[in-house]
Structure 1
Amino acid sequence: MKKGLFIFCFTMFIAFASKAQDNTSLPAKYQEKMTSIFNKIPEVTSSAATSLIDFAKSMLGKPYVYASSNPDRGFDCSGFVSYVFSNFGFKVPRSSREFAGAGTPVKLADAKVGDVLIFTGTNPRVRKIGHVGIIYSIENGEIKFIHSTSGKAHGVTVTEFNDYYKSRFMKAVSIVE
């Protein structure tokens, strides 16, 4: 019953919102407020990605443990990514190499928060997949991603998509549609 009521209310809100977007008939003092509200509507549609990132953030500092997807022990890169997505019911691969065939490929310029970045291993000249992470934020065109690294941080951390990672970048895929 509650679910049905929620769906009804949400449907009514969307119907109202689509008709009310032309707010020129409103008094001037309300036009700005309505525009502000409608500009926030896309934020609601990205709530799945927001929840996913919030959950991933709760794992910050967990140690890097090779071949592990156990939050009590720690994670390797693909163990972390698969654990995060599996928590939300997404069926994703367990190994970084298999992520190349998962989800929907996206151009890096079109990638969004919650998409998976796929990299080579630590040597960028060896063009074989060996690392994955989840886009954490995109601000002013600058991407940060959350991942479990065996490098300096040696665990779950947020890293800038810097020149080193750009040299290792292979592709991006969208799991959350």
Structure 2
Amino acid sequence: MSHTAHIPSHRKPRPQRTTKLRAGVAGGVLSTLAVAGTTGAAHAAEPVTETIEMPTLTTELATKVAATADATQQAADTYQLQAEQDAAAAQAAKDAKKAKAKAEAKEKAEKAAKKRAAEERAARSAERTTLSASGSSASASAQSVAPASGSVGTVISFLKAQLGDAYVMGASGPNAWDCSSLVQAAFKQAGVDLPRVSQDQSVAGTPVSLSNVQVGDILYWGGAGSAYHVGVYVGNGQYLDAANPSKGVVIQDLSGYPASGAVRVL
């Protein structure tokens, strides 16, 4: 036995609070866990009762939807139709404007052409020599040709260039002619297309009286539309023609062989 066993210890006894506190803390934690577990279990056990109600497609609602779709389609069709009508109207206006401009240009050209034609006729009339009423004056000036200008001058110049050529029925130049082919070729030089035969040439222009015949007028023998011979008046009571096989192309005096009528094409 220790020699100190009988000596009472002076150490104070260790308080037990720490053990109790720890036990309390542990109990609190366990209590908290228990409560949490109970709450979680309670929530886990509760069924979900919230539902989402979807609208029911009733007949009335379907009708309204269809009506809305029809109205939308009708509006689209109306818009498209209006767009097409606007485009057609714009194109029509454009075409009308173009047609108007074309018509105005044509009218202007026609007026200019008429003015030029009138001026040419006036110039030809001023320079032509009318048929003399005196047979003696015509005889005195035999084989003379009145001056001509412009298109008429072209015709007369061509005819004079053929003087002395042969007459051959059906021939059309350049060194032999019949009466109508010579007249046709002469006027072609001035840009005038005449028919080929005498009958048609006798009605190809404007009829004029023999008392008013002018240089370049076509003379014919026989009836209008049934003529059998043609020539061209060259002034001073004379005409130039492809007469016959014995004469060929010559200038002759009207007093010796009066024409039946005359037409004017220039």
| Range into which the TM-score falls when normalised by the shorter chain | 0.5 to 0.7
- After TM superposition, give the deviation of residue 49 of structure 1 in Å: 1.5
- After TM superposition, give the deviation of residue 46 of structure 1 in Å: 4.2
Which of the residues 65, 73, 77 maps onto 2:168?
65
Query: Which 4+ residue blocks in structure 1 deviate beyond 4 angstroms?
Result: none
Per-residue deviation, residues 28-86 of structure 1 (Å, max 9, x unmatched) = xxxxxxxxxxxxx93399432222111210000010011111213x0000010001111
| Matched position secondary structure for 2:166 | coil
Could you say which residue in structure 2 is the equivalent of 1:156? Answer: 249
Which residue type is aligned with residue 240 of structure 2? I
Alignment of 1:86-97 (within 5 A): 86-97=188-199
Could you say which residue in structure 1 is the equivalent of 2:240? Answer: 146
Could you say which residue in structure 2 is the equivalent of 1:125? Answer: none
Give the % identical residues: 32
Could you say which residue in structure 1 is the equivalent of 2:156? Answer: 53
Change (3 A) 1:149 1:71: same
| Matched position secondary structure for 2:202 | helix
Could you say which residue in structure 2 is the equivalent of 1:103? Answer: 205
Alignment of 1:114-125 (within 5 A): 114-120=216-222
Structure 1's unaligned 5+ residue stretches are 1-13, 15-40, 122-127
- Alpha carbon RMSD of aligned pairs, Å? 2.6
- After TM superposition, give the deviation of residue 151 of structure 1 in Å: 5.3
Which of the residues 130, 136, 147 maps onto 2:234?
136
Instruction: Tell me if the contact between 1:81 and 1:134 (Cα under 8 Å) persists in the aligned partners.
Output: yes
- After TM superposition, give the deviation of residue 172 of structure 1 in Å: 0.2
**Count of residues in correspondence between the two structures:** 123
Could you say which residue in structure 2 is the equivalent of 1:43? Answer: 127
The reply on whether 1:172 has 2:258 as its aligned counterpart is: no
Say which structure is richer in helix.
2
Q: Find the aligned partners of 1:43 and 1:113 in 2 and give their Cα distance.
A: 9
Structure 2's unaligned 5+ residue stretches are 1-118, 120-124, 129-147
Q: Find the aligned partners of 1:100 and 1:134 in 2 and give their Cα distance.
A: 11
Which residue type is aligned with residue 136 of structure 1? V
Instruction: Tell me if the contact between 1:69 and 1:82 (Cα under 8 Å) persists in the aligned partners.
Output: no
Say which structure is richer in strand.
1
- After TM superposition, give the deviation of residue 170 of structure 1 in Å: 2.2
TM-score (norm 2): 0.42
Which residue type is aligned with residue 265 of structure 2? I
TM-score (norm 1): 0.62
| Matched position secondary structure for 2:154 | helix
